Every structure is written in C-alpha cells, then in structure tokens.
Structure 1
Amino acid sequence: MNIYVSNLSFDVHDEDLKNFFAPYGEVTSAKVITDRETGRSRGFGFVEMADEAASKKAIAELDGSTVENRTISVSVAKPKEDRPSRGGFNSSNSYNKNRY
C-alpha cells in the first residue's frame, strides 16, 4: 500500500521516514520529496509497505503523531491525476496566441 505523509520537518530524510514506519512491518520504499532546483525537502513524502494490514495500522497510529516537533498527517496515497498544462510555449493558452 502506498502511504502519503505530510507536514514533515525539513530535516527528515528517506531513511528517517523508513524508520518511522519499520515497527509496523516491512517498508518496501520510503521517499521524501525534494525540490528539483534546491534539493531541499518539500515537507512531504511517500512510504510503501508490503502488507496492507500493517499499512492500515501504521496510518491509524502515526496520523496526528509528533515527529521532530511537527504533527504529521498520514493517509492512503491517492493516485496522481493528469494535470492541465502550465501554459508553456506549446500550449494552446499561449500568451502570444491573440497578439498577432
């Protein structure tokens, strides 16, 4: 099961995230999401656990808990949805569309 963890301290790294969930069962991956340009944590991450029952127990017990003086939110991760274009050069909403 894929788990979403938010409101993480910027000092939390992948290994720390894995260690928070390890007491509940096998953690297959743990990733703190970082900013592409600065490499700094964005304050959230994802954990994948092998066992669904262990995942549900971890979510129930860790949601609202305090990690490094921050109250974290833990929930089932939702699938990423397609996002609309941000209006780049190849976008139909281009700034110059109606100028010339």
Structure 2
Amino acid sequence: MRPKRRPGSPDCVEIYVGNLSYETAEDQLRREFEHFGKVKSARIISNRFNRKSKGFGFVEMPNRPEAEAAIKALHDKEIQGRKLRVNEARNKTP
C-alpha cells in the first residue's frame, strides 16, 4: 500500500482517515500520527453549513516510511469508541 504523493509536494504523503468520532478534534488527530513522525497538516472535513464533522479527515506527512508505518499501525485502531479506517488518499475522479 503506497500512500499518495500530492502534485507540487513530491515528498509529501496524504493519508485518508475515516470513521472518526464526530467529537475528534484536529489536534487529537495530529497527535495520533505524530507518534510515527512529522505531520505537515491534519484536517477534519466538516459540513460547510453547520460546521459539524463529517467523520473523516486527511493527514499529510513529509516522510514516506513514517507515513506507511502510521497507516499500518492506525488502521483498525479504536479511538473514542470507533475503529479507524486509515489508507492512502485517492484522487477524485472528474
């Protein structure tokens, strides 16, 4: 499983994190991934009208081996009563 590299950031790996608790904060998400290395960004996607979490987010890590270790360790890990789905981010198809 190879994490996605973003165009313009050849070394940056974007990771999808699904099945988050609606109470999970971005700083909590960042801390979970920082156990494995440097985190460039962590964001939780929210509804643009009511600003409530949609239960998923993305984490960017600049180091491929660290990103792969995070994916392997955090996939299916239970956090706040929910098993995370963690894998490489995929491009949207038009």
TM-score of the superposed pair, with normalisation by structure 1: 0.80
- 1:66 matched to 2:92? The reply is no
The corresponding residue for 2:67 is 55
3-state SS of the aligned residue for 1:58?
A: helix
Which runs of 4 or more aligned residues in structure 1 lie more than 6 Å from their structure 2 counterparts after TM superposition? Answer: none
Larger Cα-atom Rg: 1
Provide the aligned C-alpha RMSD in A: 0.6
Q: Could you list the runs of 5+ residues in structure 2 that have no partner in the other structure?
A: 1-12
CA distance in 1, matches of 2:73, 2:53: 24
- 1:14 matched to 2:58? The reply is no
Task: State the 1:14 CA deviation.
Answer: 1.1
Mapping for residues 11-90 of structure 1, pairs under 5 Å: 11-82=23-94
Task: State the 1:53 CA deviation.
Answer: 0.3
Q: Output one character per residue of 1:18-58: Cα deviation in whole Å (capped at 9) or x when no partner.
A: 01100100000000000011100000000000100000000
Greater strand share, 1 or 2? 2
Q: Could you list the runs of 5+ residues in structure 1 that have no partner in the other structure?
A: 83-100
- 1:3 matched to 2:15? The reply is yes
Identity score, percent: 35
TM-score of the superposed pair, with normalisation by structure 2: 0.85
Q: Output one character per residue of 1:50-91: Cα deviation in whole Å (capped at 9) or x when no partner.
A: 100000000000000000010010000001222xxxxxxxxx
